[in-house]
Amino acid sequence: MTNFGNISPKEVLDKAHSVTHFGGGGRLEFSELPKDLEERIVANKFFNNQASLNLAKSHLGTQGDGNHFLFVGISKQTGETMMVTHHGSRGFGANLYTHGMKVAEMFRKDISPQTLPKNAWIPYDTNEGKSYWEALQIVRDWTKLNHTTIQKCGGGIERID
């Protein structure tokens, strides 16, 4: 949540809409990733395709669709304008999930063929499990960066943090 103090919610919402993207797809305005995050993405075998890196870059600073939202309103407690956002890991995380489920299915078939495919898992004590766990941490870090990028979208509007 970002506190903008005593400013018009309309002003904050108009500014937010001018700099963030709603719906499917991505944008290139915020496509620069921190070097260490990009290096971790490239080094992890669950992101070994250009699509993952492209999604991480092009979806940065975007809100998405579905149950994702950006809300601006006035706090009943303080009377100040607040912004709250909710978004997930976007296409970047979805790509990891798809790849991870393929790997998990290989383990399920070998370890527990009677288990339903939707309940497949990757054992942590395997190289794949450790790599997948690290990939999840990368997605978490990317999601936090995306949240921060969107919260800063009030660019030019004084915030109280």
Tell me the pLDDT tens digit for each residue of 132-142: 999 999 999 99
Q: Tell me whether residue 87 is annotated as binding.
A: no
At 61 the pLDDT is 81
Please answer whether residues 122 and 103 qualify as being in contact, where contact means their C-beta atoms are separated by less than 8 angstroms: yes
User: Would you say residue 149 has pLDDT above 90?
Assistant: no
pTM, two decimal places:
0.80
Residue length, the chain?
A: 161
Ranges of each domain in the chain = 2-154
**Interatomic CA distance for residues 42 and 51, integer angstroms:** 11
Q: Tell me whether residue 68 is annotated as binding.
A: yes
**Direct distance between the N- and C-terminal alpha carbons of the chain, in angstroms, rounded to an integer:** 9
Q: pLDDT of 12-46, one tens digit each?
A: 888 887 777 777 666 666 678 999 999 999 999 99
